[in-house]
Structures are given as C-alpha cells and as structure tokens.
Structure 1
C-alpha cells in the first residue's frame, strides 16, 4: 500500500494537482487498491485529524492577523522600521527585514507576512532605487521569519504531533532563532547593497521622531507580549491566547489606531475564513496520508533503519536537514509537519537530541522550503503581488537563501540557541 501511496502522490503533484487534493486522493487510491479497508476510512481520518481543541487556535490566529492588517498596523510597523534603519546603506532593505520580523509577532504565517508588509515594502524599495526583483527576493526570504517568531501556526501543529514539546515552549524557543534569521538577512542585504551601490536616500530622523514612531508602534508590538505573558502567567492556554489575540487586534484597530471600521469586518472575516479553510483542508488530507503510513509501519521501519546506521546526533541532524530541504522542493510545511514529525521526532528522541532543539531545526528547515522552486509558495505569492515572474525572483535569491541556510546550520550545531530561552523562562 505504501508503494501505491507514494506513486499516486508523485503522479498527482507532477500533474499540478493542489497539495491538499493530492494528499487526500493518494491516500484514497492506496486504501482502495492496496488494502481491505473501505475507502470511506480516508474521509473518517480527515475529519478525525481536525477534531482537536488546540487546532482551534489556527483560525483565530489567522483572523487576528487579518484584523491587524486591516487595522493599518502594517503601515505603522513599516514607518517604525524605516525610522530606525532607513537612513543606512541599504536602509530600505533593512527596513523590509525588520518590518517582516515585527509582523511575524502578529501573523504567525509566512504567506501573510509576504502578502502584507512584504509586498508594500517591495514597492517602497523600488521607489527608493532598488530593482523590483531584488526587493521581491528579499521579501520572500524575510517572510521565512513569520512562522518562527511567536505566535506560529506551524508550532501549534508541531506540538500536536510531538508530545515531548508544548506550544508555549516552542513559542519561546522560536524567538532567538527568528532574530538570528533576521540578522543573517540584514548582513546579506548590507553586503549586496555595498556591492551594488544601493545607498541611503533619507537623512537620519531626529530622536523625537523615532520616539513618536516607537510609541505609535508599541500597541501593535504588544500582541506577542500579551500572548507569551498571558500563557506564562497561567492566565490562559495557547488556544485561549488566540482568542485574546483576536480581541486585542480588534480593540487596537478600532480604538487605538481608529482605522478599522465595522463595515470592514465582513470582508476581513471572509478572508480569514477562506485562509482557514485552505489550511484545515491541507491538515485533514495530511492526517489521512499519515494514517496510511502508520498502518504500513513506515515510521517504525524507517526508525529501525536509521538507528541501525548508528549515526551520531549531529550526523542525524545534518541528514535530516538534507532530507527536509529536498522535501521542501515539493511540499509545503503544513503537510511536512503532519507527515514527517511522527516519523522523525521519535528517532531524534532515541538519539538523545533535545526535542525543542529538533523541533526548531525542523520548523526552520521546512519554512525555508517555501522559498525554493518549483513549488515554493512564497515565490508565487510575492511574484503575483509585485507583478514579476517567479524566475525573476529566483535569480536574486542566492545570497538570501545562503544566509537562511547558514543560520539553519548554526541552529543545528548550537542547540542552546533554541533551548536557552525556554530553560531560563521556566518552560
């Protein structure tokens, strides 16, 4: 049955079938042709995969991100980032990375980051003299930070697949790796800007203006403090935190920034509903696909094979990185987490690798896959937003992709970057 499963998935992806439908149809074909189970079991497993209380956090965090964007907080963060670094060499590129990093603390989604502040910043960079493709490539690469800095939809799903980690632990663990990714991209942008002569076109703003933009941006940046502080203080659970995020975004948009109106809510709710439905459809299909793998004992067989190789923990992590980078060429992070975490995390645990460290390595790696052709979703989102071909973005990607991979290697070889903050924070 496993052979039929993988063969059907490969054929469907080559035919251009959307990932969710490819996963569900391949599971259906495998069950129908290679087992005695009724095909209806595929639908049953899809619904079972969605029957989870922690999963309620996904649509609420998506709605919170839509409310924050609709409440003009994206523009606020862009002004704040530009005030801080816009006067430096390559300043608009630095502002692009900083705004993506700050918006990551709101959205929890790489695609939302790219489609929101990223697209706006790309247009600002073009007006400042940067090639459009360069700005788009930097936007694609900076959007990787979205699922790393909390809140993160991907971390919620990971914690549902691995009982050795919790959502809040992963939230805290992602802060330093997310900042490391930002620093890597800032360094790459600085190098490229000096090499190509991209200069600063704005004078350093006075400290009074920086202070005003900081105060103006503080409510938008307060969401991450609300989430982590509320969970750490035992006030609410991670799922309840997602509801609080919606309430906070609504209050900020309507009463603090006064840019969100009641007539805007139906359209915002519709966008959030469509995005949530797409995400949940992928999760349900991935659950059915993973069920077939479990029935066929694929995780157990793979675990026995890898443990039989007697790899060191570092060698295993490097091998996993290569596997996930290859996986990212063809599938998005959501099905990757649902399918690969139950297979790989028990092996990592058996080798003595810290579960939090392994989780961060997997999440960063799978998210980088969003930037790689032929199916990198971020490439297509940004290309559509800035009216370029994905190939034009790919040509400008190498220095930024190299920076992200270098940070991934650093995280792989330095577990404390992922585990230190949760440990001292009591998580």
Structure 2
C-alpha cells in the first residue's frame, strides 16, 4: 500500500501537468506523511541531494558546451569532418555523424549537438540532394552519441543517483567504445542507404585548404584531450577537468576564433544558469523521492519480483531493457535516471551485472527515448531545426531505430564493450 501511495501520487501529479521535479517533491511529502516520517527528514534529504562536490561537474560541462556551441565550434567541426569523409558517396551523412562524435565529446548534450550540427548540416545536405527528412534523421540519431561519449552530463547524474558508488571517471571511459560503436553502426547504415539511393559524392578538399581547416578545428578538439587526458593521467578529477574545460573553451572562443561578441556573454551565462536551475531542482527533489522509496523498501520489493520471474540474467536484462525503452518514450532522461537507478541497481547487482556496465545499458535505452515520440526532446529539437512535421521525421528515423536497437543488444550482452577500457586505463 505504501508503494502505491508514493508512486500513485507521483503519476497522478504527472497526469495533471505538474512538472516532474515538483511531482517528485510533492509525492515524497505525501509518502512521508503516509508512513509518519517527520517532514523535516524530507527537507534534509532535499538539501543533501545537491550538497555534493561532484555535482559541480554538471554546470561546468554545460557552460563549456554552451560556449563552444555558440562560438563557432560546430561549424569548424563540420568542416573538419568533411575533410575526413566528405568525399565518399553519401559523405555528407558521414560528416554529420562524425561531427556529432566530435561535438558530443565537447558538449556532452544531445540537444546541443542536434541544434548546433543540424543548423549547419541539414540545409547543406538538402542543398546537395539529400532528402530533408533523411538529413534530419541522421542528425537526430547521431546526436545520441553525446549521451555515451565523455563528458556525458547524464553519466554524472547516474553516478549521483547510484549514491556516488559508481566512479564518474569509469563511466566516462566506459562510454567511449559504445559511443564509437553507435557512430560506426549509423555510418554503415548511411553508406548502405547512399549506395541504394545513389546519394551524391562530395569533393576532395585541396591539401592546403584541408590543413588550414584541421589546424582551425584543432583548438576545439583539444577540449577532449584536456577532459580525458586530465582524468586518465590523474592530474584532474572529473569536476576539475570540467572547470579547466570552461577556461579553455572561453579562451578559444574569445581570443582564437573571435566569432562571439563579448556583449553576448551575460545572455549565454543566463541561459546556462536557467538550464542548470531546472537540473538542480530535479536532482534535489529526486533525492527526497529516493529516500522515501528506500524507507518503503520499494527497490527490495522490485528486486524480489524480478528475480522471482526468472533467475537468468539475460532474461532479466531483456525485461529491464523493455521497461527502460517504454518509460523513455514517456519521460525525459534525467528524471528517469534519478528515479530508476535506486530501484534497478539492487536488481542488476543481484544478478552479477557491473554497475558501470548497467550505466551504459541505461544510457543507450534512454538515449533512444530522447528521439522517440511522444516525449522525445531531441526529436522535437531536430524537427524544429529542420522545420518539418514530427511524423515525417519519425518515419525517416525507422531504419535508424533498428541500428540503435542492434547497438543496445550489443552493449547489453557484451559487457567488455563497457568494461574493457575502464579496466585497462583506470
């Protein structure tokens, strides 16, 4: 009965249009009242939820990504990717995916990736003879890489939702191979489609111009080296590397590229703070919601229920995937990570699945949710950038969903994809 009160009040609040963060906070208060826990305990849990040093990594990474996104970085990464693969048949679709790989390794945000890369490449692909809906589908699906490739904001949120027991550095490194596999799978699909539909080849960039483009992009690409190199060498923690990335992004944007006006900086910071305030409120209220769930022993009950259904880890992982895919279409990624991690972590530990590996499984699942209707935030951004009806974009996305599901199966049932690099480097 206790679980029904907590979860039922949460879903009722969602159905009547209450924002997810406030729905979790109010449901936690209702749950605390029902089990006769002092409301002061809920307030303490809310405060403790955001009183963590590692949380500073999120605002720094978001700010670094915002500076790079608005400072001309996306355009230069597109040009760099064009040098590498633009001359192949269907090359602009590969440029799109590769640019998302590079930009995702800087911004850590699928929405920023779709908006920045899509603004440059969707019109360009249409101009060169690609259908606009295909160009949008490539952009939207390619941006899912940003969730896996470090520095992923959602990996930080997962670590916090796991109670800090999962290393952020391990999650960052674990995302490299799954992210590259996702990009490679989408590239193969694009090459096959380009050959089947005879999409155009690009032109080979002259050597002198190519070297200039590469040199120009190198400044931004150094951000990846700073973030990963600092963490792997032990010089920086993930939080410290995020703050260094902000300083580097600011230096490159304002003093090297000089495409961004100083007068626009306060507006950029204001937009970043506005985004972060929503994230921090969500994390704070999710902490109280998780606290009440733990007191009600909801994670234990769900673990018992799932392990009663089957003792086969592969079957349980398949059931969890189906659950995550279904919920990912109905709710945004961050609240789902915060709600589901405390519930599912005991389940996966009981069947011998590494929490870092499970983090990657969750990221791929919920990443697919970001581009799936009816609540796919990245899908909405892509459709808005392309100025296309969402239904048309979804139809074009169908083959890409197949590719993403293949990646999900590989990441779920081949643990080495997630665990080999962290074991080697950390």
Establish whether residue 22 from structure 1 lines up as the match of residue 35 from structure 2. no
> Residues 301-359 of structure 1: CA distance to partner in whole angstroms, max 9, x if unpaired?
11122233452222222221111111101112211221111222222222222232222
> Residues 102-147 of structure 1: CA distance to partner in whole angstroms, max 9, x if unpaired?
0011111111111222332222222222222222222221111112
CA–CA distance in structure 1, aligned partners of residues 218 and 173 of structure 2: 20
Note the C-alpha offset of 1:31. 4.0
Q: Is the 8 A contact 1:8 1:29 kept in 2?
A: yes
Q: Secondary structure at the match of 1:146?
A: helix
Partner of 1:217: 217
Note the C-alpha offset of 1:85. 1.9
Note the C-alpha offset of 1:208. 3.5
CA–CA distance in structure 1, aligned partners of residues 90 and 19 of structure 2: 38
Partner of 2:80: 80
Q: In the TM superposition, what are the counterparts of 1:387-402 in structure 2 within 5 Å? A: 387-402=387-402
Q: Is the 8 A contact 1:84 1:210 kept in 2?
A: no
CA–CA distance in structure 2, aligned partners of residues 284 and 103 of structure 1: 29
> Residues 194-225 of structure 1: CA distance to partner in whole angstroms, max 9, x if unpaired?
3333222x322233333332222112111121
Q: Is the 8 A contact 2:331 2:375 kept in 1?
A: yes
Partner of 1:352: 352
> Residues 265-321 of structure 1: CA distance to partner in whole angstroms, max 9, x if unpaired?
111111111111122222223223222322211001111222334522222222211
Q: Label 1:343 to 1:169 Cα distance change in 2 as closer, same or farther (>3 A).
A: same
> Residues 74-97 of structure 1: CA distance to partner in whole angstroms, max 9, x if unpaired?
111011112222222222211111
Q: TM-score, normalised by structure 2?
A: 0.94
Partner of 1:133: 133
Q: Secondary structure at the match of 1:373?
A: coil
Establish whether residue 311 from structure 1 lines up as the match of residue 340 from structure 2. no
Q: TM-score, normalised by structure 1?
A: 0.93
Partner of 1:103: 103
Partner of 1:188: 189
Q: In the TM superposition, what are the counterparts of 1:168-207 in structure 2 within 5 Å? A: 168-200=169-201, 202-207=202-207
Please provide the CA RMSD for this pair: 1.9
Establish whether residue 3 from structure 1 lines up as the match of residue 4 from structure 2. yes
Partner of 1:263: 263
Partner of 2:411: 411
Q: Secondary structure at the match of 2:147?
A: coil
Structure 1's unaligned 5+ residue stretches are none
Q: Secondary structure at the match of 2:143?
A: helix
CA–CA distance in structure 2, aligned partners of residues 327 and 20 of structure 1: 16
CA–CA distance in structure 2, aligned partners of residues 38 and 44 of structure 1: 10
> Residues 221-263 of structure 1: CA distance to partner in whole angstroms, max 9, x if unpaired?
1112111211222222111111111001011112222223422
Q: Secondary structure at the match of 1:397?
A: helix
Note the C-alpha offset of 1:40. 6.1
Note the C-alpha offset of 1:16. 4.0
Q: How many pairs does the alignment contain?
A: 424
Note the C-alpha offset of 1:164. 4.3
CA–CA distance in structure 2, aligned partners of residues 384 and 12 of structure 1: 28
Structure 2's unaligned 5+ residue stretches are none
Note the C-alpha offset of 1:39. 5.2
Q: In the TM superposition, what are the counterparts of 1:152-167 in structure 2 within 5 Å? A: 152-162=152-162, 163-167=164-168
Partner of 1:244: 244
Q: Label 1:13 to 1:199 Cα distance change in 2 as closer, same or farther (>3 A).
A: farther
CA–CA distance in structure 1, aligned partners of residues 51 and 241 of structure 2: 19
Partner of 1:59: 59
Q: Secondary structure at the match of 1:315?
A: helix
Note the C-alpha offset of 1:43. 4.7
Q: Could you tell which deviates more after superposition, 15-24 or 364-373? A: 15-24
Q: Is the 8 A contact 1:102 1:221 kept in 2?
A: yes
